[in-house]
Amino acid sequence: MKRRKFIKNALAIGAVLSVPLPYSCKRFASSLPADITDFSATDLSLAIKTKQVSCVEVMQAYLDRINRYNPVFNAIVSRVGDDELLQKAKEADSALARNEYWGWMHGMPHAIKDLAPVKGLPYTQGSPMFAKRIAEEDSPLVTKIRNQGAIFIGKTNTPEFGLGSQTYNPVFGTTGSAYNPKLTSGGSSGGAACGLGTHMLPVADGGDMMGSLRNPGAFNNVIGFRPSTNVVMEEGNAKDRLLWTSGPMGRNTNDTIQLLNTVAKRPEFNNLKPGSLKNLKFGWMSNLDNYLAMEPGIIELCENSITILEDAGAKIELMQPDFRPTDLWLSWTTLRHHLRLGMLEYYENPDTRNLLKPELIWEIEQGLSFNEKDVKRAERIRTRWYTELNRLFKEYDFLVLPSAQVFPFPNTIHWPKEINGKKMDTYHRWMEVVILGSMGGLPVINVPVGFDSQGRPMGMQVMANFGEDKKVLEFALAYEGITDYLSVRPKLIGNDD
């Protein structure tokens, strides 16, 4: 639909807005871009609900964009056929004509990360063992999204079993960054983040154990939010917190909040407003007093954004936790690798072992090397980390770190072997910066901090104490109001360019 036609039709939407009709309609209409795929998810939802655009128009616009750009970026896999999707969009329009409204995602295209099953779609987890598997039922997260009216167009690409912050697998290949398809999109929610950054998806779901929402968020200049582990997941209370959680991603914070309300156990994130930045106290941890190797330029970009916060009235203090980072790493790797024993059957079966990526085999073997005493020691370290976090959050409102230790790197490289001259001794050591939030089960959001001289995006992690998700999201809304990084869009190259 052309912008002129949309603006004309938008004059009918005032009844659903809370401010006076003439002003609200003009403001909404004037904020909309020309291309449907450039609408925010929130605006798209409202446009569909008020019949300013049809679901068929929306689906066709997204399919045109996907058909042009996805062959280059490889973000969306296991795609449903265009004709079938357009028929589903037509059915969504017919439902609206009968005054049947399915939810805020009514008729919106959505692709689920390929670590979760969607009934009737391939469910490969990026593994050749499951390349032909078709899901027989929806996961609980998928059910929640389906119940809001989304139309599933396929899956988003992920590393094999979600392992590693580089999205490649032998089933579908490699996903590129939205800002340069020759660079990695990060992972494991790399397809989701690239789909957002290229505007092939309105909003996206993902999961995060070792930065899998935060790292690809940074590498694609979008928002990635890791909630407290009891917000979306059925397990994970304040005492016994999970190491991972599902979570939302968005082109902006408000869209991210909308999807969080959909997938959360309780929709408690309504009507959030930008928080005041004045007098908030931020603990800037930088590179943990030179413990973490960082590619040159990352700290500088983060500190530029921290200066913006300071100019807005926030208080910034360079600080370090009273905790040995080597202890955190020991605890993290012990607990993480111990969890891999849940995949032991694939390792012990010679027919499937040969199909596993080497990094997974290594993790399983590491898990086998630990005994009960090792695991208990790791759990004690983690409990001490909870205590230190509680102490820190009595002094600081937020703790801040870069979202990654490197900028997006060539996607032909499986993982960085060294950073700034320091060798990485494991395939995941280069993402050690994210474990502080993961080990605490904390709410952590990736917000953008801009680009280096090569145009590579970066972000920073902002975290609050366990259960303070609203506080983090209100900060992100405020941060978005004083920065313009999200408005810098990539210049895409399509398969016909």
pLDDT (tens digit, 9 = 90+) per residue, 13-64? 333 333 343 445 456 555 666 899 999 999 999 999 999 999 999 999 999 9
Q: Greater confidence, 300 or 30?
A: 300
Q: What is the mean pLDDT of residues 281-286?
A: 98
Q: What is the mean pLDDT of residues 91-108?
A: 98
Q: What is the mean pLDDT of residues 106-126?
A: 98
Instruction: Give the integer Cα–Cα distance in Å for 487 and 33.
Output: 12
pLDDT-derived band at 212 (thresholds 50, 70, 90) equals: very high
Q: What is the mean pLDDT of residues 428-442?
A: 98
Which pLDDT score is estimated for 497? 74
Instruction: Give the integer Cα–Cα distance in Å for 58 and 47.
Output: 10
Indicate if the pLDDT at residue 154 is higher than 80.
Answer: yes
φ/ψ of 173, rounded to 5, equals 90, -155
Indicate if the pLDDT at residue 3 is higher than 80.
Answer: no
Which pLDDT score is estimated for 17? 37
Give residue-wise pLDDT tens across range 410-421: 999 999 999 999
Q: What is the mean pLDDT of residues 257-282?
A: 97
- Structure tokens of 243? 């190491």
Q: Which residue has the tokens 């145009």?
A: 455
Which pLDDT score is estimated for 36? 97
Q: What is the mean pLDDT of residues 203-211?
A: 98
Q: What is the mean pLDDT of residues 290-308?
A: 98
Instruction: Give the integer Cα–Cα distance in Å for 199 and 378.
Output: 42
Q: What is the mean pLDDT of the chain?
A: 94
Domains of the chain and CATH, by start: 33-319+396-487 (3.90.1300.10)
Give residue-wise pLDDT tens across range 60-93: 999 999 999 999 999 999 999 999 999 999 999 9
Least reliable range by pLDDT among 31-35, 107-111, 160-164: 31-35
Q: What is the mean pLDDT of residues 245-271?
A: 97
Q: What is the mean pLDDT of residues 250-268?
A: 97
Which pLDDT score is estimated for 238? 84
Which pLDDT score is estimated for 27? 60
pLDDT-derived band at 495 (thresholds 50, 70, 90) equals: confident
Which pLDDT score is estimated for 236? 79
Alpha carbon distances (Å) from 234 to 27, 74, 244: 40, 32, 12
Give residue-wise pLDDT tens across range 344-370: 999 999 999 999 999 999 999 999 999
Q: What is the mean pLDDT of residues 290-311?
A: 98
Does the bond joining 188 to the residue before it have cis omega, within 30 degrees of 0? yes
Which pLDDT score is estimated for 341? 98
Which pLDDT score is estimated for 493? 87
Q: What is the mean pLDDT of residues 245-259?
A: 98
Indicate if the pLDDT at residue 5 is higher than 50.
Answer: no
Which pLDDT score is estimated for 496? 78
